[in-house]
Amino acid sequence: MNREEKQEVVLSLQEKMQEYGNFYIADTSGLTVEKINAIRRKCFESGIEMKVAKNTLIRKAVEGLEGDSSELFQSLKGSSSILFSKTGNAPAKLIKALRKGSDKPLLKAAYIDTAIFIGDNQLDNLVSLKSREELIGDIIGLLQSPAKNVVSALKSGGSTIAGLVKTLQER
């Protein structure tokens, strides 16, 4: 691979990192070609894009990110695959589902909206993360519930008051 090709790979990775905003670095070493292809198929079905690149090229792409992303560098050892996703927890759920049959793939690191998670022990935390849309839905639900309570109290109270006024009028 010559210098221009390496530069193209780095630029492509940087574009994906900026486009998706979330990416996971996973260790898929030791897996057969059949299992890797199965993982790629499941990634495609889940809306996750999977790329394999050299660690030095990944490092150069990560250096272009906003903020201090040097924590990710320690995880760039051995074979690395990058999983890009629009939702922060989709790759974590996929990795967890894939590990039911074996201990691979391992999570090396995750970058989610400028937050960095290092190590396979973070997988359960990442699975339980809510997406941005889920959080917005929860907030809207919380904001609507007091208003709904007030409206329903006014409606029920209104019929009671109307009944009292009607009774008083008849007397």
pLDDT for 47-92, tens place per residue?
999 998 899 999 999 887 776 777 888 888 888 899 999 888 889 9
pLDDT for 20-37, tens place per residue?
888 999 998 888 888 888
Looking at the structure, tell me whether residues 123 and 135 fall in a common domain. no
CATH code, domain carrying 15: 3.30.70.1730
Full residue range of the structural domain in which residue 169 is found? 131-171
Looking at the structure, tell me whether residues 18 and 95 fall in a common domain. yes
Looking at the structure, tell me whether residues 104 and 145 fall in a common domain. no
Looking at the structure, tell me whether residues 13 and 97 fall in a common domain. yes
What's the rounded Cα separation, in Å, for the pair 59 and 73? 7
- Rounded to two decimals, what is the model's pTM? 0.75
Looking at the structure, tell me whether residues 80 and 103 fall in a common domain. yes
Contact 53, 16 (CB under 8 A): no
Mean pLDDT of 92-121: 86
Number of domains in the chain: 2
What's the rounded Cα separation, in Å, for the pair 127 and 122? 9
Cβ count near 53 (within 10 Å): 18
